[in-house]
Structures are given as C-alpha cells and as structure tokens.
Amino acid sequence: MTGFLVKRFLQALVVLFLVSIIVFVLLHMLPGGPARAILGPKGTPQQIEQFNHQQGYDRSLPTQYFMYLKRLFTGDLGDSYRLNSPVFELLKQRLPKTLLLTVLSTALAVVIAVPLGLLQAVRRGKASDYALTGLAFLLYATPVFFLGLIMIILFAQVFPVFPAEAPQGESVGELLGDFTGLVLPVVTMAFGIVAMFSRYMRSAVLDNLTEEYVRTAMAKGQSSRRILVRHVLRNALIPLATLLGLYLPTLFSGALVVESMFNYPGMGLLFWNAAQGSDFPVLLGVTLVVGIATVLGSLLTDILYAVLDPRIRSVA
Amino acid sequence: MTTTTAPHTAPGHEEAAQATPSLARRTLQVFTGNKLALTGVVLLALLLAFSYLGPLLYDTEQTHTDLSQANLSPGTEGHLLGTTDLGYDMVGRLMVAGQTSLEIGLAAGLLATLFGTVYGAVSGYFGGWVDAAMMRITDAALAIPAMFLLVVVAAIITPSKGVLILIIAAVAWLSPARLVRGEALSLRNREYVQAMRMMGGGGARAVFKHIVPNAIGTVIVNCTFQIADAILYVSYLAFLGLSIPPPSADWGSMLSAGITYTQNGYWWLIFPPGIAIVLVVAAFNFIGDGLRDAFEVRLRK
Amino acid sequence: MDDMEEPGGAPAPLLRIDDLRVDIASRDRTVHALDGVSLELAPGEALGIVGESGCGKTMTALSVLGLLPPGGAVTGGRILFDGQDLAAASAPTLQDVRGNTVGMVFQDPLTSLNPTMTIGAQVAEPLLLHRAGIGRKEAWARAEEMLRLVGMPQPAERMKSYPHQLSGGMRQRVAIAMALVCEPKLLIADEPTTALDVTTQHQILELIDTLRETLGMAMILVTHDLGVIANRVDRVAVMYAGKVAEQSDVRGLFARPRHRYTEALFAALPERAADRGTELHTIPGLPPSLTVRPTGCRFAPRCSFATEKCREREPELALSTEPAPEPGAESGARPLAEALAGAAEEDTERPGAGHRFACFHPVPYGDAPAEQVVTPPPAAATEPGDVLLELDALVKEFPLTGGPFARRRGTVSAVGGVSLSVRRGETYGLVGESGCGKTTLGRIVAGLEEPTGGTVRFDGRDLSGLSRAERRAHRRRIQLMFQDSTAAMDPRMRVGEILREPLVIQGVGTRADQERLTAELLDAVGLPRGAVHRYPHEFSGGQRQRLGLARALTLSPDLVVADEPVSALDVSVQAQILNLMRELQRERGLTYLFISHDLAVIRHLADTVGVMYLGRLVESGPAEQVYAHPLHPYTRGLLDTVNVPDPAAASGGDREPLRGETPSAAKPPSGCRFRTRCPFAEEVCASTEPPVSTPNGAGHQVACHFPLAATRLASAV
C-alpha cells in the first residue's frame, strides 16, 4: 500500500503546484493586474507604479511566480480592502464553519441516500423504483438556490418552524449551539447531494447483486436480507469513499450557494460578498484555499479507500 | 447417409445466425420501453415548442419596460401569469428566456463534449507521460470548484451570450475528458485493435476506425448530461450575478430576480422559471439515462 | 412421503428429480432450458451430468437449490431431496438446506468468493447460519480445521487472508471448504475445475474424491469435460437440449454408448481419433435454440440416422435391457422412476445395467462405436520442408512496476530463452499450462511484442534487421488467430469490413478485388457469402472462429499463429474447426504454430510438439515420439495428470501426476525451473541450467539433467 500512497501523494503535490499557477494566472488576468487587485479601485497611477516596482511586479513572470509562492508559504494572502483585515485571518475564521456545513450535510445525505439506493436496487423495475429514480433526477435538476428558496418559503414563511437565516456565531461551537438555525442550510445542501449518492448506490448495489459471490452466499443458505447487509452493502459502500473525493468540488460549490442563500457566515459567503464588492485579494485567497482543501480532501478519501479495500491494502 | 459423420466440416449446416435489428431500431425499442426516457423526450419537445413556437402564437412586448404594469399578479387581464418587476408579461418572458437558456445550454454542452472528447482521446491513446501530464492538468482544474472559478471570471469579464457559452464550456469539458480518456485507455488494448496493428495498421486508423466508433455511445450519453449541467450553470451564474443584461433574459436570471421578492409573496416570479429549469434539466437527464440503457444493452449482447 | 414406498424395498434415493421443467425468461424471449428432466441419486453415489454448453446441465444443478438466474423459474416437476420437494419449498426451507445438507461449488473461484471478506469469515459463515449452538470462536476453529482438510497450507494464517491473495487452485479449495464445512449429504459441483490448469484440476478432483469418501456424501458433478466425468463418478447422465439423452453407469456408457448423440460426441473427441493423421468425426450444425419446443427427437436435425419417425415423435428415456420397443405415449414419470429403481437394484453386476437412452435408432449391441462409422480419408501427409521460423534464445521480460513514476520493482520472466524451429508446411504444437509463456511467445512471433533478447528468423531473415517498410510488408506473412474471436473483432464493424481490413491496410487490390477475395474466403471456411452484411455478435462461437480463420488468411500468410483457437468451443464444434484448419493447411500449404493447453488437441493436430514450463522449452520433438516416450519429467507428469475420457484406461498403470503449484515467473527457480516440483531433482538442478540433449535420437530434444530412461518408459506406457 505504501507504493500507492507515495504515488498518490506526489500526484497531489503536482496538482497543488498547478492550482497555484491557475490562481497566479487569474491574478494577472485582472484588469489593471495585481496592483489594482491589492490597492483597490482608489489607487492612483503613481501609487500603482510604485507598488508594482516595490512588489517586483515589473520583473519577469517566473520571478513573480516565485515571489508569489514565497508569500504563500508565509501565509501572506494579501489584505481585504473592504474588511481591512488580512485574508489569511479571515479564512482561518471562516474555513471551519464551511467545513462544518459540508460535513453535516454530507453525513445527512449519506444517511438518506444509502438506504434509498438500496431500496431502489432491490425494487428494480417496480413502480417504487421508477418513482424514486424520477424523484432523484428531479432533485438533481433543481438548482440548489431554488431548493433553498422552496425550503425558506415552506418552513420559514408558510410554516414558520425554522429561521430563514443561519446562526451568526463567531465559532463552530456557537453555530452548533443554535441548532434550529442550521437545519434549513444543512437540509438544503444535503438534498442536492442525496440525488447523486442514491443514484450511485442503486447502480453499485445492482452491479454487486449480479456478482457470483452473491450466488455463493445464497448457496450457503443466507437470507436475502443478510446477503444484502453482510455482503453487498460492504462492497458497494467502499467505493463511496472515492466518490466523496470526486464530489468535493461540487460540495464546495454547493456550500457557496447555500451560504449566500442563508447568510451562513462561512467561506462561501465571504467569497460571495467579495465578488459583489470586487474584493480581489479575498476572491483569489479563497479560491486558492478551496483548491488546496479539495486536493487534500480527495487525497484523504483515496487513502480511506485504500485502507477499506483489502485488494489495495495488501497488494503492493 | 450411413455414417455418423460428415466427411468434411459442415458449412451452412450450422444454425443460420439470427439476424438482429439495427442499432437505431434497437435503441428505439429500449427507449420506448423506458418510461422515464420517453417522459424526457416528451418534456423536451413541449419545452422547445413553448419557447420557439410560443411567441408566434402569443405575442408580447419583451423589449420595452412598462413600470406601470409591474408585479401584476396572475390572472390580471391579458397576463396569465402576471408580470415581472419591470412590467414584462411573465408567459412571454418565459418563452424568450427559454430560448436563451436552451441555446446556451446546448452550445456549451456540445462545445464541452467536443473539446473534452478530443482531449481525453489524445490523452488516453498516447498514454504514458503525455497522459500523466494532461490528466494532472484536468485534476488541477477540477480542484478549484466550478462555482468559485465562475465567480472570479465573472468579476473580470462582462457577459454576453457567447462569453457565457465559453465560460461554461471551459469548466464543463473536464468530465467528458476524463470519461473518454478512460474509454480510450481500455479500447486501445482491445484484441481487435491488436489484430489491426498486426496487419500493419497505424495509430490514426486505430483512433478513427476503432476507438472513436466504440466510444461514441459513452460520448453521446455524456453529452446529454453535459447539456443538462450547462443549463444548470446558466442559472447558477445568474444567481451569482452574472447574466446577460436586460432586455435579454434566461430562466436563471428570471428566477434570481424573483428571489428579491420572496418576502413580498410574489410567488409567480419564482416558481414558473424555477420549475422550467427543473423540467428541462430533468428531461435531458431522463434522455441520457435512457440512452445509456440502450447502448449498454447492445454492448452486453 | 409417497416417494418412500419404493418397490422391492430399495433404499430411498437421496435426491430424485421428476420431470423437471425450467423456463428462463429474458426481455424478449423465453428459453425452455429444461424440458422434463428426471434423475435419481442414491446416498453416497456420484452422478455426473455431462453435455455441451446450453444443454441444461448447469440449470439442473442450480435448480436443486433454487439458485436459478434472474428470470429463471421451475414450471413443472419435483425435486425430492430427503423426502422434501425443493421445487415447491418456501424460502426459509430452501435456506435451511443450502450450505447445510447440500453444499455447492461453482466454476470460477476468482469471482465466486467475496473479495472484501476474509477467508475465515467466509468459511465459518455456513456454521454460524446453520448450527444454532455454535459461537463465533468454535465456528472459526472448525473453519480452520476444514481448511486443513482441503489441503490448505498454513490454514491458521490463511483464515485472515483475502481471496485475491490466493492462487486459483487455493481459492477453489476455499470454495470447497465452504461447501463442506457443515458436512452436507450432497455436494453439487458445477464445472469445479474448468477455470483451472490441468495439474490444479487434477489435485482438486482428487481432493473432492477423498473428501467424498471421508464424509460419505453423494455428489453431482456437472461438466462439459468427458475426461473429468470418466474418472470421477459412478453414473453419468448425458444431456442434450434440455433433456437427458442417455443415462448409465460410467463404464457402460463409455464402453458402448447407445444414443446416437453420445456416440457422435465421443467420436468427435481428438483422443478418440483413430490416427493422428485422420480427420475428426464431427456433428454438423448446432443444438436447437430452445425458444420453441422442438417436435420429435431434439438431435434429429443433426443425426445421420434420423428418420421420419424421429422428426415426428419424441423418444422416451427407456431401459436398454430389452430391445427398445415403441415407447407408448402413456409412459409417465412415475413408472419410469420405478423401473429405474428396480433395475438399479437387480442389475448392478452386469455392465449396461440401468442403461437408459432416448433414441429410436440406438447403436446396436456388440458394435464398438468407433469401428461402426466409416473412417474418413486421412489427411495427406505433409512433407516437412525447409525451416520457416527459427527462434534463437528468445527472451521476453515484463517489468513489474509499482510505486511512484512506475518505478521498476522487478521483472517477470515470461519467456526465458527459448530456441525452436518450425518447418514449412508443418504444424508445430506448443503446449503448456497457463503462465508458461506460450502465449507471449506466439505474440512475439506474430509481431505484437518485441523480444527482450534473442532473435526471430523468418524465412532466413533476422526480423530485428528489417526496415520500417520491410516490416510492414512482412506483417502479411505471419498472422494470428485469436482464442476469443468476439474480442478480436470490432463489434461495430460488419463482417465484410472486418475481413477486408487487412487488405485495406496493406493496400492490396481494388475494392472489387477485395470483395471477391472476401467471398472466396467465406466459401473456404464454410460460411454463406451473405455474412459480410452481418455483425460479429450475430454468429455462434464456432462461426466466429471460422471468421477469425478467414481473416487470418486474407493476406495469404505463410505462417498462422493460432493461440488456443478451439479452447472456448464445445467438443463437436471444436472438431469442425480442427478439421477446417487441417483442410486449409493442405490446400494452401500453410504452416501453423498451434498454441494450446490441451494435450489431446495438440496430439491430434501437431507434427512437432514443444512443451513449455515457466518460460522454458523443456522438451520438443516429433509428436508421436514425445507422447509415447516423454523424456522430461514435466512432460511425463503432464501426460499422467490429464484426464483420459476412458474409465478403463484411467484406473490402470502407475501414473505419477504432478504435485504442487507452478512458482511465480517473477522469481523463477534457479537452474532448472521445474526442479521445485520434480521427483528426481538433485543439487545440480538448482545450480546449473540443464543442457539440451537428444537421448532418443536427433529431433527429440530435452532440457534435463536426468532425462527419463527409455526402459522406465516402456513399463509405464
């Protein structure tokens, strides 16, 4: 397994390097270049020129990239000129909250999707399978913000059981303390994922049911329920780890939309507000951090997969 | 005939091979058997007719605003679904917006599929270092969630229809690229490709005569999903504040304009465009799912 | 309970299948897979069910435990096991029988074990399910004991292993342990050794034999392999098109088959061919598709004895003790079963007792089947010509990669220095078990792989010295015929395009020329010219192999490398293809490099034989000589291991089957690669590579320090 892990780790490093290049390129695509991005719209031409010289932005691109990397390693992502705070500090505060939202809704989605997919597979071709498949597609086809809107109208306006706005705590603990406020954002985001996961579970269980080891299990005298739980479910669930890794970017995208819908104080909202106000240091800083989080996250799920699947665990 | 054996092999005595129906026919068969796929086709046809034939039958003013007619509720005379905040007739607006959404979705989906297919086929066929390098690039591009990338790009560029198509295609091509690359990797090791190489055939023949025709099913299926996703992207872009400025409209921009009035109870500004998006995206997904079944059945044989 | 009152107080059978009917429904058609199958099995008895693919043998086995595939259903008949009708049993009842009183072993040990569960958990599972009082600990202890019983080395450690860490043979041992851990009264083995190599196959069959004796259980052995069935069972049922065609004790069946189908099936075996030079007897055509119930005898369309009567009425399975009378239509299942029980009781001593068959024109008594049929003309002996292909110290190593940047972590020695020469016009048979390097060697000759070392000379020229253009032209002269024509033909191309492709690539002729040649080739391989408009999947396995041969011949090659071209085919179809290959060789002066694991096929077809083991050519020489007087202990062991489809031959002689498993090609043993399994190995075998010698005269080479002496052989053969 070490060979696999080392290889995967090196791959992740290469990808991180490429991510930093993409963000660097974006930085240079900005109108007025990085100087405008960092000084903001109020910077005069003289200030810009001086800044460019000071920061080395008049040197060759490779040198600039090198300097950019060096700043990254010291945690210098620039300052937000709307919030008057270093981007690094802002991210340190917001990232955990976004992770909380993502983890809670993913967990909820898995808890709903696994039995749902299993049910669909067992009822394959029956009316309930068709109904659930149709429903899953409809859910998948619904933009998350439309879903959120429906949630708000239903559960905050028509039947006011949950607040339409997320809690505004400073820390993760405070957020958890105000649990009713978390319900709508978490459920909205989970629903968006349920469709994908239940679809996967259905086909994974169906695939596994045609495997010969299922027939062997039957020949031992096991009930279908036991075969499903003891044999099929395990084999269908293991690849779900990789699927989670693959869907990380989608999850973060979903978080961006949900956070701005419910005014949830995470990274997505920070990003959205920055976009409204052309706060480029924040935009690029968040983009970079989300990219890094995705790379590390998918590395983690791949390791998890390797640990769970004996075929990878014990070979090479 | 007194021996138990035929002196030679028995040509023509083997059971006549069963003729199977053509691919198109078989696809049609499976398709009509799949109720969801059929639903998808009907839905799509209805939405297309609504968007393109609708304005011919139901003529409304969709260029000039009329604020005196703003936010009329459904049922107001002459306005079946009421009017928007700028006084456009809702039904007429939905028709015009549908054209934009469908066109951007189709164009972006096709463009992404085309580019992704070529990229993936090249990566998979050459393999080795070329493949590793090309795939790390897609990994990196995938690592930055599409929505974040779109917002940054939106902050830099002013949108038009063409720009939206390009932006969406630029984030959407990654999934067909990975898919086709996987297909190409496995197809190039198939025995019939080896057999062809043994006859002295080269790479171009392998790609165009064998690999592409055998991967086409995957590509077509994925293309329908891409179109669906592209239409979703259009709506997300509008939600994030990036849509073609009025008087143009798409369903996404109508929906996000409606969000502003959630508190006012102007439901007719929200649900019609929202449902339209859900229906069209679901329709393409149903069709893609049906096509996948059709292709798989054929390949299983 | 009515089945207990057998006439004459015969012991109640353990299993009685009565007029069983099974339908398999799929999307657009229904196959009547079983159409009135009746069988009986006494406690402790071994019954073999044999037949070609699609005859219903596996469906019979699966239906006993209610394990039919999706769409499959029992539509009639009874399956009485221990007085209980399993065909009508409820799910809990069936679950109670499965794995408990009836154990089952499946064909493919690779896929039939759960990949993510430990061996121990899987073997212990039936105990936990069926033995109420047994806890986890005791179940594991018993499972370990069972693993020891099935010959698993280091069973305690293996309990914690996963299936992919074991070899195919070891996995099949696990499957057997799983089936037997509850000590069932009946073991059903569905092609248990078909996916395994000859030596492993032998070991597994021996193991089943031993366990059957130890545990005193009955067995149903389902196989297509007449060699396996001849040596391992008491009675045999021959199935054809969803019905039992003939049923007898094993010696009686092989000594004098009565049904014309059985007779023809035996005659198609390469082992039964009168002489190496003769053509094989074939059965024309294919079995019926079973979507509609055929009228009359199901074999009639392919039978040369068929009369109007055969085509109109269906013969009943009847005893052969009296000359078969016109079977009345009123004879139902019940009197039949009684007759069988009675006959089995009284006539166990006489050969042919209880011998039943369903044929209006059976093979008459007193006639040995092989003499009865007219021997076809022998194939013209080909005069060996000059050397066409010469391999010199050919080496092929594959890197064993893993870790970052595909770091090289070792090599697999697929071909470890092979020298051989093939003469123009001959058939060179290359034989060996899987992993011996025979396929890699064939692919190098065909130009699909580049050798790591050594030279390939073709028609006197070293191929590595060819220019690009010469190489392209050279491609025409050697063609490969694949084992699996389905995989070797583009599913999206029509047959016409597939056959023309070599000509298009090589730029031979105009389109009209190409089409004419294609048509001629279809004639030559016995397919209708209209085939050009069809897709490969529309043809049967045998027809596709004809297409594969036709494509190999389009460029008029000198040499055809045939890699296991018949191993996926049924015996009767295999005979057709082998005859066709021989016929085309005679007509076109072809040279074949014929690669196979099947000793009988090689013996029938080859002029010269090369035996490979773990990347080395251990012995080569004229076919008759190698088979009659093998010089290498491996060749000898291989010949002793093979299941001869003749129960009389199997029991006699001092056979010394091969033991152990082939070592990994990543770490081949030093010196002689066979030494780890060789009964005669000494120190020198480990230190020095064996020299090539010719103790039996020139032309018969062996690479061994201690070649078998001629005297030893004389007594053995």
Give the mean pLDDT per block of 10 residues along chain C (717 residues).
Answer: 46 88 84 91 92 89 91 91 90 91 89 90 92 89 91 89 87 92 93 85 89 91 90 92 91 88 89 71 83 87 89 84 42 41 42 76 66 44 75 88 51 89 93 89 90 90 85 86 84 90 88 92 89 86 90 92 89 88 90 93 92 94 90 91 77 71 86 90 89 85 84 42
Contacts of A314 in chain C (CB under 8 A): 162, 164-165
Compute and round to an integer the Cα radius of gyration of chain C.
27
Average pLDDT of every residue of chain B: 79
Task: Give the closest residue to A273 by CA, choosing from A94, A100, A105, A42.
Answer: A94
- Contact: A290, B145; criterion CB under 8 Å: yes
Structure token digits, residue B91: 């039904």
- Contact: C129, A221; criterion CB under 8 Å: yes
Which of C114, C129, C194 to probe by mutation at the A interface, max A CB count within 10 Å?
Answer: C114
CB-CB contact of C255 with C243 (8 Å): no
CATH fold of C13-101+182-370, please? Answer: Rossmann fold (3.40.50)
Phi–psi pair at A40, nearest 5 degrees = 85, 175
Q: Cα–Cα distance between C568 and C540 in angstroms, integer?
A: 12
C577: nearest CA partner in chain B: B9
Query: Which residues lie below 8 Å from residue B301, measured CB to CB, with a gap of 6+?
Result: B20, C537
- Contact: C116, A238; criterion CB under 8 Å: yes
What is the average per-residue pLDDT within B146-157? 80
A248 three-state secondary structure: helix
A131 touches chain B (CB under 8 A): no
According to the model, what pLDDT value does residue B110 have? 94
According to the model, what pLDDT value does residue C277 have? 64
Q: Which residues pair with B87 in a beta bridge?
A: none
According to the model, what pLDDT value does residue B17 have? 37
Query: Which residues lie below 8 Å from residue C544, measured CB to CB, with a gap of 6+?
Result: C485, C486, C489, C536
C91 touches chain A (CB under 8 A): yes
Compute and round to an integer the Cα radius of gyration of chain A.
24
According to the model, what pLDDT value does residue B10 have? 32
Task: Give the closest residue to C87 by CA, choosing from C101, C100, C71, C72.
Answer: C72
Tens-digit pLDDT string for chain A (316 aa): 677 778 888 888 888 888 888 888 877 777 666 666 666 666 677 777 777 777 666 777 788 888 878 888 887 777 777 777 888 888 888 888 999 999 999 999 999 999 999 998 888 878 888 888 888 888 888 988 899 888 888 888 888 888 878 777 777 777 777 778 888 899 999 988 898 888 888 888 988 888 889 999 999 988 888 898 888 988 888 888 888 888 888 888 899 989 988 888 889 889 888 887 777 788 888 888 888 888 888 888 888 888 888 877 665 4
A253 touches chain B (CB under 8 A): yes
What ipTM was estimated for this complex? 0.82
Which of B14, B23, B31, B298 to probe by mutation at the C interface, max C CB count within 10 Å?
Answer: B14
Pairing status of strand C478-481 against strand C559-563: parallel
Q: Cα–Cα distance between B250 and B273 in angstroms, integer?
A: 9
Q: Cα–Cα distance between A253 and A251 in angstroms, integer?
A: 5
CB-CB contact of C62 with C69 (8 Å): yes
Q: Cα–Cα distance between C507 and A132 in angstroms, integer?
A: 56
Domain range summary for chain A, segments of one domain joined by +: 19-73, 95-315
Stretch(es) of chain C classified as CATH 3.40.50.300: 13-101+182-370, 387-464+473-485+495-606
Residue B166: pLDDT above 80?
A: yes
Chain B nearest C-alpha distance from C423 (Å): 22
Residue B209: pLDDT above 80?
A: yes
Domain spanning C387-464+473-485+495-606: CATH superfamily: P-loop containing nucleotide triphosphate hydrolases (3.40.50.300)
C65: nearest CA partner in chain A: A219
Domain spanning B24-53+99-299: CATH superfamily: MetI-like (1.10.3720.10)
CB-CB contact of A19 with B143 (8 Å): yes
Query: Residue B298 — pLDDT band, cuts 50, 70, 90?
Result: very low
Return residues 477-496 of C near B (CB < 8 Å).
479-480, 482, 484, 487-492
Return residues 97-136 of C near A (CB < 8 Å).
97-100, 103-104, 106, 108, 111-117, 125-126, 129-130
Q: Which residues pair with C399 in a beta bridge?
A: C411
Contacts of B8 in chain C (CB under 8 A): 279, 579, 583
Phi–psi pair at C608, nearest 5 degrees = -120, 145
CATH fold of A95-315, please? Answer: MetI-like fold (1.10.3720)
According to the model, what pLDDT value does residue A1 have? 61
Which of C492, C493, C564 to probe by mutation at the B interface, max B CB count within 10 Å?
Answer: C492
According to the model, what pLDDT value does residue B8 have? 33
B274: nearest CA partner in chain A: A146
Residues in chain C: 717
DSSP code string of C329-361: TT--HHHHHHHHHHHHHH-SSSTTTT-EE--SS
User: Other CB atoms closer than 10 Å to residue C644's CB: what's the count?
Assistant: 17
Q: Cα–Cα distance between B93 and C36 in angstroms, integer?
A: 69
According to the model, what pLDDT value does residue C336 have? 41
Which stretches of chain B are DSSP H helices? 23-33, 35-48, 54-57, 90-126, 128-143, 146-156, 161-172, 174-187, 191-198, 203-205, 212-239, 251-259, 267-300
DSSP secondary-structure letter at B12?
Answer: T
Chain B nearest C-alpha distance from C539 (Å): 5
Return residues 222-251 of A near C (CB < 8 Å).
222-224, 231, 234-235, 238
CB-CB contact of A37 with A82 (8 Å): no
Element (H, E) at C414: strand C408-423
